[in-house]
Amino acid sequence: MTIFNRRDFLRTSGVSILPALIPFTPALGADTHKNNWSPPGSPIIKFFGDGEMFEPGDYLDELQKAHAAANIVRDRYGSGGVVEALEKKFSEMTGKERSIYMPSGTMANQLAIAVLSGENTKVFVQDTSHVYRDEADAAQSVFKKRLMPLAKNETYFTAQQLQHAIENLNNEEVFRSGIGAVSIENPVRRTDGRVVPIDEIRKISTYCRSNKIGLHLDGARIFMASAWTGTSIKEYASYFDTVYISLYKYLGASAGAILSGPAAVIDKMAHLIKVYGGNMYSNWPNAAMALYRLEGFDTRLQNAVKMSAEIFTALNKLPGVQVKALDGGTNMYSLQLAKEIDGKKMQATLNKEFNIRMPRPNDKNQTQLAVNETLLYQNADYIINAFKKSI
């Protein structure tokens, strides 16, 4: 039962995601791994996505390792056990008073915005944001909020644009239904992972605080922003009232999210999750995975960043290969192949011979390469060599 036209999505997002992958025999493990970290049974290097998304068999192996390392204690309805431990971990990491497990990013974003807004209706968001475009009009149809999109097709709006938009409301409208909140996605998935500059975030935060406007961070992929900009997650979080971080995009869980923020906001959430039907009996399979994978994740990601620099420098020396960082980007890089290179064949060879997956180049022989911790499954030379042999 599907609710959207996946082909449309892929076409518009400019990225070709591979179809369901068949399990492979494991390649050689790299010894760069820290924290007792080891690749899954069938480690595949993936130049797409933000991190490891385990197939079921590997998922279970990984959770068994987690259980062996520290006995997993289950939660009941999100209370206690490994869920509570994960919430504490996120509170420390974000420097927030409280954290709570959420079934989905959509629920995390929507409930955060709803509670921050209170009775006010207007919520300012990026035009390109997940809240505006990918939450199925939940803000309006369930939470009774009016989203006010800023910065059409751009990664971010500036503090000045926000201030202007808010002040201009007095000219555009007679009735005052109140500024509810401001929500910022960072990095932005729909602009290929580009970040909101930290200076703008600071200014927006200052403006919002001096005007008592709640500020929410859709930080689903905030780890990507942090690894590429060097700004710590705690610093990012410090500018916002509430922060949502995904558990499945790169922390290995099959689903789930964490929302962190002040007690006055987060303490309302458990009840709201129940009321909106998101309260599940036991959530430990996601929480335990995320907690386990979180250990050392930032180090691994930084290692991947470094390794990718080495790899891309080498690839750029290959004739007809050009890899470029996006302007203001994080882990997504553009790959342009000269027309002499058969991009589709190259992709197939990397997959078949080297267990390296990348998106299929389009008709202009272009695609994007995403950097994530799966690069660490091999060393840089292995990957560089694989590309050389696949051209």
- Please report, as residue ranges, which positions from 191 to 250 form the binding site for a copy of itself (by CB under 8 A): 248
Size, binding site for a copy of itself by CB under 8 A: 88
Binding a copy of itself by CB under 8 A: which of 26, 38, 95, 134? Answer: 134
Cβ pair 122, 179 in contact under 8 A: yes
Closest separation in Å from C-beta 232 to a copy of itself: 25
Contact status: 175 vs a copy of itself (CB under 8 A): yes
Binding mask 34-73 for a copy of itself (x = CB under 8 A): -------------------x-xxx-xx--xx--x---xxx
**Of 158 and 254, which CB lies nearer to a copy of itself in the complex structure?**
254
Nearer to a copy of itself, 176 or 234 (CB): 176
Amino acid at 227: A
Q: Does 78 participate in binding a copy of itself (rule CB under 8 A)?
A: yes
Q: Does 84 bind a copy of itself (CB under 8 A)?
A: yes
Between residue 92 and residue 131, which ones bind a copy of itself under the rule CB under 8 A?
98, 100, 102-104, 106-107, 110-111, 119, 121-122
Rounded to whole angstroms, the Cα distance separating 357 from 52 reads: 12
Smallest distance from the beta carbon of 320 to a copy of itself, in angstroms?
31
Q: Does 307 bind a copy of itself (CB under 8 A)?
A: no
Cβ neighbours for 352, distance < 8 A, ≥ 6 positions apart: none
Minimum CB distance to a copy of itself smaller for 65 or for 360: 65
Task: Please identify, using beta-carbon distances, which residue of 280 and 326 lies nearer to a copy of itself.
Answer: 280
Of residues 270, 318, 325, 326, which one binds a copy of itself by CB under 8 A? 270
| Residue-wise burial string across 363-381, b where 16 or more C-beta atoms lie within 10 A, e elsewhere | eebebbbbbbbbbbbbbbe
Nearest to 367 by CA among 318, 334, 319, 327: 334
In sequence order, the 6+-apart residues with CB closer than 8 A to the CB of 140 are: 146, 147
- With beta carbons less than 8 A apart as the criterion, state whether 299 and 139 touch: no
Q: Are 374 and 252 in contact (CB under 8 A)?
A: no
Tell me the three state secondary structure of residue 166. helix
Phi, psi angles (nearest 5°) of residue 187 = -70, 170
DSSP bridge pairs for 242: 216
